């Protein structure tokens, strides 16, 4: 398995976090994170991690909620800098009085934002946008740290968790092997739902494989009923520490003779667990791509669609 950029992730994370220099940021009462795909997943992870401390709303669309105002900090994340949805939504947030900061490798966002006097954090490139995840995540964490403060120890633990995942490459390959030829049905503790969203996206883009996300406890009221029939799916059960609901779900799986792929996320805190899972499961999808004989970097339908859509605002 070619790990592509994953081996550099811990080093990249360390170099980005704390190195960002920004002008004054008004202390916000809420944070809006705009982004699509491999950029938008940063918002999902940060909402899991910090959503209990400050309201965090993730936008993966052209529009923003009506409540956005001068008390909102908008972080616009676009790896390429050319994502129309992100540019449009962030400019609409600005029209509503929100402070906006862009995170990108360049493109239209960098040039247009600078022309408008919007602060831009420009990060290094990667093999493909989704492999630039740590650049985008730790830049956004730096911005939030400046705005409202972040626990530095938890950030360090998240980088150590990436290193732990890289050492568990054989486990990543095992997970990938178990999912070949099936549609992964990912049941996950909702506290770390971002891991499942990222895993689904990596399965789609790297392994060209469809997948389903079922966050628990919501999935206990719908998805779990599918255990009554046999389908061409392979269940995955992702746990994030002690949780009686997850234990009950696992017992129901056994009662219905389901044999899920099980993964316990390593790490002391939520951010560490998310980074462990995202790193390890990303490598699992690269292993699948290799076994399936597909190029994990190519995303031809996305490229074609972007050309047809053009600029949306």
User: Do residue 176 and residue 284 come from a single domain?
Assistant: yes
The verdict on residue 123 lying in a domain is: yes
- Any domain includes 227: yes
β-strand partners of 73: 31, 99
54 plus 130 within the same structural domain: yes
Domain span at residue 217 reads 170-292
Mind listing the pLDDT tens digit of every residue in the chain (313 residues)? 667 799 999 999 999 998 998 999 989 999 999 999 999 999 999 999 999 999 999 999 999 999 999 999 999 999 999 999 999 999 999 999 999 999 999 999 999 999 999 999 999 999 999 999 999 999 999 999 999 999 999 999 999 999 999 999 999 999 999 999 999 999 999 999 999 999 999 999 999 999 999 999 999 999 999 999 888 999 999 999 999 999 999 999 999 999 999 999 999 999 999 999 999 999 999 999 999 999 999 999 999 998 888 878 8
113 plus 50 within the same structural domain: yes
**What is each CA distance from 167 to 3, 111, 171, 173, 237, in whole angstroms?**
12, 40, 9, 12, 21
* Predicted local distance difference test score (pLDDT) of residue 8: 95
Query: Does 142 share its domain with 270?
Result: no
Q: Rounded to an integer, what distance in angstroms lies between the CA atom of residue 286 and that of residue 305? A: 24
Domain count, the chain: 2
Tell me which residue of 123, 169, 157 sits closest to 4, measured CA to CA.
169
- Domain shared by 10 and 146, yes or no: yes
Looking at the fold, whether 107 and 136 belong to one and the same domain comes out as yes
Domain with residue 277: its CATH number is 3.40.50.10490
CB distance 78 to 131 below 8 Å: no
Specify whether 139 is located in the same domain as 268.
no
In a shared domain, residues 54 and 140: yes
Q: Residues with Cβ < 8 Å from 66, sequence gap 6 or more?
A: none
Evaluate whether residue 40 is within a structural domain. Answer: yes
Can you give the pLDDT at residue 4? 75
Q: Decide: 157 and 268 in contact? Cβ < 8 Å.
A: yes
User: Exposure pattern of 257-266 as b/e (b: 16+ CB <10 Å)?
Assistant: ebebbebebb
In degrees and rounded to multiples of 5, residue 58 shows phi and psi of -105, 130
Longest C-alpha distance within the chain, in Å? 61
Residues 202 and 80 in one domain: no
198 and 69 in one domain? no
* Token pair of 94 as six digits: 């600005």
104 and 36 both lie in a single domain: yes
313 within 8 A of 84, measured Cβ to Cβ: yes
Determine, yes or no, domain membership for 90.
yes
Rounded CA separation 140/146 (Å): 10
């Amino acid at each position: 398995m070619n790990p592509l950029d994953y081996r550099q992730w811990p080093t990249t994370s360390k170099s980005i976090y704390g190195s960002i220099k920004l002008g004054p940021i008004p202390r916000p009462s809420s944070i809006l994170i705009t982004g699509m795909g491999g950029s938008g997943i940063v918002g999902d992870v940060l909402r899991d991690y910090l959503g209990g401390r400050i309201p965090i709303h993730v936008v993966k669309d052209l529009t923003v909620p009506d409540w956005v105002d001068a008390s909102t900090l908008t972080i616009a994340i676009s790896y390429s800098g050319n994502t129309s949805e992100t540019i449009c939504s962030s400019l609409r947030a600005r029209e509503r009085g929100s402070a906006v900061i862009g995170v990108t490798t360049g493109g239209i966002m960098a040039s247009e934002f600078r022309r408008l006097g919007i602060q831009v954090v420009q990060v290094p490139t990667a093999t493909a946008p989704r492999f630039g995840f740590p650049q985008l995540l730790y830049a956004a964490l730096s911005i939030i740290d400046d705005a409202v403060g972040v626990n530095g120890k938890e950030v360090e633990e998240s980088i150590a968790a990436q290193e732990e995942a890289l050492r568990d490459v054989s486990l990543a390959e095992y997970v990938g092997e178990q999912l070949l030829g099936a549609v992964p049905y990912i049941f996950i503790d909702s506290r770390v739902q971002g891991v499942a969203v990222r895993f689904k996206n990596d399965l789609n883009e790297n392994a060209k494989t469809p997948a389903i996300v079922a966050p628990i406890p919501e999935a206990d009221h719908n998805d779990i009923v599918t255990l009554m029939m046999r389908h061409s799916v392979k269940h995955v059960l992702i746990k994030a520490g002690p949780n009686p609901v997850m234990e009950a779900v696992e017992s129901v799986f056994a009662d219905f003779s389901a044999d899920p792929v099980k993964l316990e996320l390593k790490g002391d805190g939520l951010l560490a667990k998310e980074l462990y899972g995202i790193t390890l499961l990303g490598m699992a999808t690269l292993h699948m791509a290799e076994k399936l004989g597909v190029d994990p970097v190519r995303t031809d339908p996305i490229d074609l669609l972007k050309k047809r859509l053009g600029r949306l605002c």
